[in-house]
């Protein structure tokens, strides 16, 4: 009798469960998707700025980089969540999970990056590190930045971002349609 649990034994902690294994995207899907999603979110923000103010802003490069970074960082996280929640499910679930995790993930990551930049700017006027005053200032500065992004930044995802979101969610759902969970992939290899 071999030492330790059998390879298919649920008590075997050497291999993660199949749902977790499936949820981890390939490096190619994560990298290519991150670049494409980041570019799409940048294009969405630039189109919204062009419609609103004809791109007449001193902060165009900073905003473009912010929206690119938010989309690029959010893609692999959202892809993991989509694949984890949609494991062995119908294409409708894949579509719903894609819309939910891509939209919320992209907005949350971009808002967090905006809050980080906001915090860095205002840090020069904040109290000493980890003091009661510093903690209060940190919490309120971060909350103000997230609120400001929610009010003024989220609208930069419209109208193009919504079209890209639903198109991407539809593509993800179609790629998963009729395939066993082990073969469903965002980008076929």
Q: What is the 3-state secondary structure (H, E, C) of 73-86?
A: HHHHHHHHHHHHHC
- Domain of 55, in residue numbers: 25-176
In this prediction, residue 86 carries a pLDDT of 94
Whether 124 is covered by a domain: the verdict is yes
What six digits make up the tokens of 20? 């977790």
Divide the 189 residues of the chain into consecutive groups of 10 and give the mean pLDDT of each group. Answer: 48 68 94 98 97 92 98 98 94 96 98 96 91 95 96 95 98 80 54
What is the pLDDT at residue 13? 53
Ramachandran bin of 130, using left for φ above 0, alpha for ψ from -120 to 50, beta for the remaining angles: left
Residue 189 lies in a domain: no
Number of domains the chain is built from: 1
**Looking at the domain assignment, is residue 69 inside a domain?**
yes
Residue 18, domain member (yes or no): no
Q: What is the pLDDT of residue 11?
A: 52
**Alpha carbon 33 to chain centroid, angstroms:** 11
Residue 40 tokens, joined:
């799409």
Residue 6, domain member (yes or no): no
Backbone angles phi, psi at 47, to 5 degrees: -65, -45
Structural domain contains residue 8: no
Please tell me the distance from the alpha carbon of residue 137 to that of residue 139, in angstroms, as a whole number: 6
Helices (H), ranges, the chain: 18-23, 27-53, 60-85, 91-122, 132-148, 160-176
Q: Is residue 146 part of a domain?
A: yes
Rounded Cα–Cα distance for residues 24 and 31 (Å): 13
Question: Residue 17: inside a domain, yes or no?
Answer: no
Cβ–Cβ < 8 Å for 37, 69: no
């Amino acid at each position: 009798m071999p030492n330790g649990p059998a390879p298919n034994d649920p008590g075997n902690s050497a291999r993660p469960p199949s749902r977790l294994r499936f949820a981890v995207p390939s490096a190619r899907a994560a990298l290519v998707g991150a670049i494409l999603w980041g570019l799409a979110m940048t294009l969405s923000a630039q189109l919204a700025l062009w419609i609103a103010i004809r791109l007449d802003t001193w902060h165009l490069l900073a905003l473009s980089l912010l929206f690119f970074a938010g989309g690029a960082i959010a893609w692999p996280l959202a892809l993991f969540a989509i694949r984890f929640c949609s494991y062995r499910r119908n294409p409708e679930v894949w579509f719903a999970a894609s819309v939910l995790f891509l939209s919320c993930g992209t907005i949350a990551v971009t808002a967090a990056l905006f809050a980080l930049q906001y915090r860095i700017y205002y840090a020069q006027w904040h109290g000493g590190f980890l003091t009661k005053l510093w903690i209060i200032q940190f919490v309120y500065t971060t909350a103000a930045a997230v609120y400001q992004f929610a009010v003024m930044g989220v609208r930069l995802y419209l109208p193009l971002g919504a079209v890209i979101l639903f198109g991407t969610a539809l593509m993800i759902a179609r790629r998963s349609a009729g395939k066993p969970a082990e073969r469903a992939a965002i980008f076929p290899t």
